[in-house]
Amino acid sequence: MVMARVALRAICFLFGGVVAAQAPVPEPQAPVPVDVDADRLGAPVRLLSLAEVLQLGRLHNVSLRAAELLPQQARLDLVFAEAGFEPELYGSVGYADAESPQRNLFQPSVSQQTIDATVGWRQRVVTGGLFDLAFQPARYETSGSAAFPTKQYAAAWTVSFRQPLLRGAWTDYNLAPIAAARYRERQAGHEFDRAVQDTLLAIVQAYWELVFARENWRVVGSALAVAQEQLRITEERIRVRELAPRDRVADESEVARRREELIVAENAIRAREDALRELLFDGADAQLWRYNLRPTEPLDVQPSLEPVAFEPLVDVALLQRPELRSQRSAVAAAEVALTEAERDTLPGLDLIGGWSSDGVRDDGFADAFADAVDQQYPDWSVRLEFSLPIGNHAARSQRQRAALEVERQRRELHAATLRVTNEVRDAARNLQSFAQSIAASGESVRLATTNLETEQVKLRVGASTAFEVQRRIQELREARSRHLRNQLDYRIAESRLLHAQGLLEVPAPR
């Protein structure tokens, strides 16, 4: 009976049971091997809460730092589209020397040198018109003919404006590239928001997986301690000749199996640490792979069993999900492209207006310039130009393709809406299901612990066998693993529900 009490106390100590006639004995937190190795080698230790890992990942995740460049590129595309209406200053200068042969007495040989220049300003306006203002000074020097003065100075002001009336006309067409670029900028921003949400979810999952791996190592270690205690009891009974020596084989096999599980559990901790490091750090720290990451958040949770209402969560998701916002921008951009394509099917009809004022003097450039400014010799003109492509198949096919693209993007939006609705409902159901599973698995752990204690006592009085005790140990091990896994699934499901609504974000620093 003394040995029975010792075994019972060991089991209760390791599995959180209650020893009869004593107060509950708290279960010690055994140090995991990676912590022991880090302390022994002097490796840097990083205590991490869930809020801290989300902040680190948002700042240093390499994939996010690459993805954040996409909205900047889209913003520059918008600047490029808006630059199409910026004015342009242009100019030219030239020199020409021409000499013509003598043809008769009335057409002697003439040589002429010309120096001319053009300075102008032009701008495309939002209605599609092109405005051009230019000043053209010139100097002509002629020799060999009495019919022309030897020197002439000219100055001319010219203004022209070309305004499309049908194809390519008016603000809705000419501002379409800017509107499309603006929608693409919004789309890129929403896509980046989606990348942030996905990365944060991956960080949350990696964090809880690490917590689970550390707790699972303790569960496996507890099962190994119980198996070793059972082997010790069997050895003692063999020593006093209550059992045959061959009865130790089953217990030795159980100890070996538990040691194998412990090795696997320890390797899982190291693998989960590496997975979390990859998500949190950018490699700037040379000691990246030496950090000993120690989560501070407990995995244990006591969730509410109240049912979750789907409809409010779906409404939030339809407003907040980044991919839905991105798809709405894609629909708007496609509609802008359709507007352009429809206008391109119209015939070309342009209104062209021009005005000029010239001045020519042989006594100096100042007088010629004054004549041009005073509009001594103004000219103006107005005309219409019309063009009609025969068949116009190219423009019509582009219009049809743009219409199909609008319909495709709308269908994509509808499909995305259904997908998001299903994801939210599935995430809410899973959260509620895991809450119920935690309650059920917690009861399974309690019952499995009681069954093991009972079987141990029965073995002491000869009413059971070592095989039955080992079976009860295995049942308790499986029950605790299921309970731990359910808690992990619930923790991840909490974040998945936020992710499904588009609400997963980095907590504000305290």
The backbone region for 39, taken as left when phi is positive above 0, alpha when psi lies in -120 to 50, beta otherwise, is alpha
The dihedrals phi and psi of 209, each to the nearest 5 degrees, come to -65, -35
Q: How many CB atoms lie within 10 A of CB 111?
A: 13
pLDDT in tens, the chain (510 residues): 333 343 333 333 333 333 222 333 334 466 888 888 888 888 888 899 999 999 999 999 999 999 999 999 999 999 999 999 999 999 999 999 888 776 666 666 778 889 999 999 999 999 999 999 999 999 988 876 655 677 889 999 999 999 999 999 999 999 999 999 999 999 999 999 999 999 999 999 999 999 999 999 998 888 888 888 888 888 888 888 877 888 788 888 889 988 999 999 999 999 999 999 999 988 777 777 888 899 999 999 888 888 888 899 999 999 999 999 999 999 999 999 999 999 999 999 999 999 999 988 888 788 888 888 888 888 999 999 999 888 889 999 999 999 999 999 999 999 999 999 999 999 999 999 999 999 999 999 999 999 988 988 887 777 877 778 878 888 888 899 899 999 999 999 999 999 999 999 888 776
Please name the residues in contact with 487: beta carbons below 8 A apart, sequence gap of 6 or more. 212, 299, 300, 301, 438
Return the CATH fold of 30-75+180-331+409-501.
Outer membrane efflux proteins (OEP) (1.20.1600)
Please name the residues in contact with 146: beta carbons below 8 A apart, sequence gap of 6 or more. none
Q: What is the DSSP string of 405-431?
A: HHHHHHHHHHHHHHHHHHHHHHHHHHH
Buried b (16+ CB within 10 A) or exposed e, 40-78: eeebeebebebebbbbbbbebbeebeebeebbeebbebb
Q: How many CB atoms lie within 10 A of CB 442?
A: 18
Q: How far apart are CA 37 and CA 452, in angstroms?
A: 34
- Start-end ranges of CATH 2.20.200 in the chain? 129-167+349-387
Q: How far apart are CA 403 and CA 383, in angstroms?
A: 35
Q: What ranges make up the beta strands (E) of 261-309?
A: 292-295
Q: Which residues pair with 353 in a beta bridge?
A: 161, 382
| pTM beyond 0.85 | no
CA dihedral sign, ordered 267, 272, 275, 280: negative
Q: How far apart are CA 343 and CA 341, in angstroms?
A: 5
Length of the chain: 510
Q: How far apart are CA 234 and CA 228, in angstroms?
A: 10
Q: How far apart are CA 510 and CA 255, in angstroms?
A: 47
- Please identify which residue in the block is written with the tokens 């051009």: 132
- 74 closest CA partner among 194, 192, 195, 184: 184
Could you say which of 2.30.30, 2.20.200, 2.60.120, 3.40.50 is the CATH number of the domain covering 129-167+349-387? Answer: 2.20.200
Q: What is the biggest distance separating any 2 CA atoms in the chain, rounded to whole angstroms?
A: 150
- Start-end ranges of CATH 1.20.1600.10 in the chain? 30-75+180-331+409-501
The backbone region for 168, taken as left when phi is positive above 0, alpha when psi lies in -120 to 50, beta otherwise, is left
